A and B are shown apart, each in its own frame.
Chain A
Amino acid sequence: MDTDQLIRTLAADNTYHARPVGLVLALALLAAAPVSLALFFAMLGVRPDVSSAMRNPFFDLKFVVTLALAFSAIAVSLHLSRPEALLRGWSLLLLIPVGILVAGIGGEMMLPQRLPMLTRLVGSNSRICMGAIPLISLPLLVAALVGLRHGAPTRPAVTGAIAGLLSSGLAATLYAAHCTDDSPLFVATWYSLATAFVTAMGALAGRTVLRY
């Protein structure tokens, strides 16, 4: 087939209009959310003392951190879904959840604590945390990759990694409602490890799935 013929064929296909990447990503995540919610409620459920826990600012801080991670990752991934996009300043967005978490650790340090630092860091749920966050994030990661596949990322592995951050941020938001370890030190250690694992999975999958 010569190139003129191909061009004519492409022009004939101009009636087909693809939806914007943001919309496809949102729809995919919405479709996956019930699966992740079902996994969460089947395995874990909300912690029993949730109404009193909500008065603990460190309990609430977990949600601020995880949602900040999810939303900054959504913004960065949508940016990276365009072929000419460079990461540059956009990666600074991902420092927002880190900054909030560091501020939280600082805040906790200044308050008198009943438990020693290491006990708070190790916590009592680290195993469940490390298992639950990747598991709950799995449907969301698949959805994020499906949504971003609709784009044209120049760096598929990086974009896949951001999809991992995005899905683990959302999954960690769910998990935080179950977890009784509210110390920012616990969050910084175990949530980060779980997130790093999901991010690595996202990068690996992205390398092949997100090529266009």
Chain B
Amino acid sequence: MRQALAGDGAAYHGLLKAVTPVLRAATRRGLAHAGQPVDQAEDIVQDILLAVHLKRHTWDVEAPLAPWLFAIARNKLIDALRRRGRRIFVNIDDFAETIPDKPAAETASASEVAAHLQSLPLRQREVLQAIAVDSTSIKDTAAKFAMSEGAVRVALHRGLTALTARLRKQ
């Protein structure tokens, strides 16, 4: 994380990849504990990752990473449970035996981020989609939309911020 904050993109990518399975396991545990279906875990994991990303300046470089990371994860899980508490769910325990215990997928798709992506302003959505879905580099994205690289970076950051705000408001 220290390298990531210093601007090492590869180190940052590696770090996020490394913590995601841990976050996923913790989220699943939390959901199961609260009697909620664990298949919502991926939405919460993505929510956590966005928060980790946008709030990484609140991590004290001298402090250990884990307490900070899990504090964010815990907050987001509680938020999600609170939000979902308003909806009606069948208690999972009733179905525990009929649901096959499938192993956690390496990476999983989630619907919430994708759904909110559609409501973003056009430019932000295009840039986010190019980088996320088509894995285009910032440089190629700039060429594709005839934008400067700086403008792509700004659209990318604003898009991520807007996505997070929409997830919070839902």
Segment among A5-13, A124-132, A177-185 that sits at the interface with chain B: A5-13
B113 touches A6 (CB 8 A): yes
Residues of A within 8 A of B4 (CB): 14
Segment among B7-15, B28-36, B88-96 that sits at the interface with chain A: B7-15
Residues of A within 8 A of B156 (CB): 9, 12-13
Residues of B within 8 A of A211 (CB): 79, 168
Please give the distance in Å from A112's CB to the nearest CB on chain B.
Answer: 52
B13 touches A7 (CB 8 A): yes
Closest A-chain residue to B79, C-beta based?
A211
Closest B-chain residue to A17, C-beta based?
B57
User: In the assembly, what is the distance between CA of A168 and CA of B59, in Å?
Assistant: 28
Please give the distance in Å from B108's CB to the nearest CB on chain A.
Answer: 6
Closest B-chain residue to A23, C-beta based?
B57
Bin chain B's interface residue count: 35 or more
A154 within 8 A of B: yes
Please give the distance in Å from A82's CB to the nearest CB on chain B.
Answer: 5
User: In the assembly, what is the distance between CA of A4 and CA of B75, in Å?
Assistant: 22
Choose among B46, B63, B108 the residue with the greatest number of A CB atoms under 10 Å from its CB.
B46
B153 touches A7 (CB 8 A): no
Bin chain A's interface residue count: 20 to 34
Select A212's contact among B20, B46, B55, B132, beta carbons within 8 Å: B55
A13 touches B153 (CB 8 A): yes
The residues of A with any CB-CB pair to B shorter than 8 Å are 1-21, 81-84, 151-152, 154, 211-212
The residues of B with any CB-CB pair to A shorter than 8 Å are 4-5, 7-10, 12-13, 16-17, 20, 42, 45-46, 49-51, 53-60, 63, 67-68, 70-72, 75, 79, 107-110, 113-114, 117, 128, 131-133, 135, 137-138, 153, 156-157, 160, 164, 168
